[in-house]
Amino acid sequence: MNKVDKPAAFDLDALRRGQTTADTSQNLDGEGNAEISALARQIAGQYAVVNYSPSIVIGQLRFLEFFSLLGIALATNFFLAQNPGGHFLDSGISGIVGALLALLFMQASDCYHVSILRSPMRSMARVLGSWTASVGLVALTNLLFVTHDTNYRTMLAVLFGTGALFLLVERNLIGLAIRRWGRNGVMERRAVIVGGGKPAKDLIRALEQQPENDIRICGIFDDRNSTRSPDVVAGYPKLGTVAELVEFARLAHIDMMIIALPLSAEARIMQLLKMLWVLPVDIRLAAHSNNLRFRPRAYSHVGAVPLLDILDKPIRDWDSVAKRAFDIFFSVLALVLLWPVFIATAIAVKTTSKGPVFFVQKRHGFNNEVINVLKFRSMYTEMSDPTAKNAVTKNDPRVTRVGRFIRKTSIDELPQIFNVLRGDLSLVGPRPHAVLGQTRDKTFGEIVEGYFARHRVKPGVTGWAQINGWRGEIDTDDKIKFRTAYDLYYIENWSLWFDLKILFLTPIKLLNTENAY
């Protein structure tokens, strides 16, 4: 889907503050979950395997074709040139330019749409035409401006023929793979319909008629009873209420939620969004039956079916790839630089109190999943609290002497770099809180409406809230409210530069140990 502007019909800031025009009639439990039916759990199990994003697959295809065409150019020079070494630089530059031009021409002629890739022979003339144009332009440039090899014409013919054969075979193999992935549910966008009755039926029928549809409808969720909302709509079962949808979406790795309600039902739509925006999914409003029209950029389309874009999944597709590369690079760098600190801390922990060096604690991770977070042990083993139900306070007798120092300096958090390399955490993101974390007698989810929206991205070792002073003990409602507000700001404004800024400010901000016990 294309990146679009948000329409002005909904006040998203008010939504995030919980200021909606109607209160939700169903509440989630302390972990943001609701018990789902056996049928919904069975269907969710069918989608437990994470699917491939079409954008990622197409991006990988571009990389494959670029480096393959470049490799063909270099191989042609190596095997056929009279003087391969003397023309290696010219051949490399020509190969790079030729491969880039081929990709640009194929992009301009719409050869990178999933629907085109499914049936490669329909677009093969455009693919080969793009390759012909790129080779022709490079050849003309070389003939006019570059001293070329005596075997240049033979090399040019072999380059063109080999590249054309590669594209022909590769595109057909990719088409076969995409068709197979589509049948197996590996490459698709998984969606649920929110709302039932005739609006949902009309939407499903419209989607089914689209030849370029990559949407797989996994079910329907509606709070209304069977008399107002049938149990089966257009062949798809109603799997539960909207509150149950939150848990279903997490289990089934849902990509998109489509609300099948008219724009006139603004109060009901806001009520739904208040419950659903905590999930890392795209939220769309079916617009095919609405008479009200926004500017074109407010819409995305499945074929010819318009969808009004309400909320987008944060840090998606290639942004997530870039963030993962960022995490791996700086985690490895941190291990190289800090290994003496790791060894010294491990020795100090082990020799000053009984028990293991490391402490494992269950915390909430991405999409509200429970992860095991690694820390240096800072408490006496017999007094440790794996659930963190009783937060550490100032002069807490459970904390060892070494533990006080490593907690003050946040050295106890360093083993979480291994969580980053394993993929459970990111270097920068909302800090993962313990599963049973609470302030006095209330869980964080009970204190902050929308608290679980922090889990729309992978949690981090450090974060925007921490470098702004919101670290340490959470003993008042305001502390968790401010932490959550800073975390949500980070999610909405994420960029690699923002991550880099937070990462480099972290050591400086850690000098302030006022709230770290």
Q: Which domains does the chain have, with CATH numbers?
A: 12-51+188-313 (3.40.50.20), 54-184 (no CATH), 318-509 (no CATH)
Query: Taking Cα atoms as reference points, which of 290, 275, 395, 284 lies closest to residue 22?
Result: 275
What is the crossing angle of helices 317-352 and 496-509, to 10°? 20
How far is it, in rounded angstroms, from Cα 324 to Cα 322? 5
DSSP letter for 261, please: S
Query: Taking Cα atoms as reference points, which of 261, 94, 122, 141 lies closest to residue 194?
Result: 261
Q: How many secondary structure helices (H) and strands (E) does the chain include? A: 17, 14
Distances (CA, A) of 126 to 156, 168, 267: 20, 11, 49
pLDDT of residue 288: 60
How many Å is the Cα radius of gyration of the chain?
28
DSSP state letters, 70-88: HHHHHHHHHHH-SSTTTTH
Angle at 84 (CA atoms; ends 81, 85), nearest 5 degrees: 160
Strand pairing class (232-233; 236-240)? antiparallel
Stretch (H or E) spanning 460: strand 460-462
pLDDT of residue 289: 55
pLDDT of residue 261: 81
pLDDT of residue 358: 92
- Please enumerate in sequence order all residues whose Cβ is within 8 A of that of 79, keeping only pairs 6 or more positions apart, or say none: none
- 305-323: b or e for each residue (b if 16 or more CB lie within 10 Å)? bbbbbbbbbbbbeeebeeb
> Reduced to 3 states, what is the DSSP secondary structure of residue 397?
coil
pLDDT of residue 227: 75
How far is it, in rounded angstroms, from Cα 412 to Cα 425? 16
Backbone CA torsion sign across 261, 300, 16, 52: positive
Stretch (H or E) spanning 491: helix 477-492
pLDDT of residue 298: 60
Strand pairing class (189-194; 256-259)? parallel
Are 170 and 176 spatial neighbours (Cβ–Cβ below 8 Å)? Answer: no
Stretch (H or E) spanning 183: helix 152-184
pLDDT of residue 268: 84
- Please enumerate in sequence order all residues whose Cβ is within 8 A of that of 145, keeping only pairs 6 or more positions apart, or say none: none
Are 161 and 182 spatial neighbours (Cβ–Cβ below 8 Å)? Answer: no
pLDDT of residue 447: 86
Query: Taking Cα atoms as reference points, which of 311, 450, 315 lies closest to residue 27?
Result: 450
Tell me the two tokens of residue 83.
């003087």
How far is it, in rounded angstroms, from Cα 62 to Cα 460? 31
pTM attached to this predicted model: 0.79
Each of the 517 residues of the chain gets a pLDDT tens digit; together they read 333 333 333 344 444 444 333 333 344 444 445 688 888 888 888 887 777 788 888 999 999 999 999 999 999 989 988 877 777 888 889 999 999 999 999 999 989 988 788 889 989 999 999 999 999 999 998 888 876 667 888 999 999 999 999 999 999 999 999 888 877 767 788 899 998 888 888 888 888 887 767 788 899 999 888 777 788 888 888 998 888 988 898 888 889 999 988 777 778 888 888 888 888 999 998 876 555 555 555 667 776 788 888 888 999 888 999 999 999 999 999 999 999 999 999 999 999 989 899 999 889 899 888 899 999 998 888 777 766 666 676 777 888 899 889 988 889 999 999 999 999 999 999 999 888 777 777 888 888 888 888 999 999 999 999 899 887 777 788 888 999 999 999 999 999 999 999 999 998 877 665 655 4
pLDDT of residue 26: 44
DSSP letter for 269, please: H
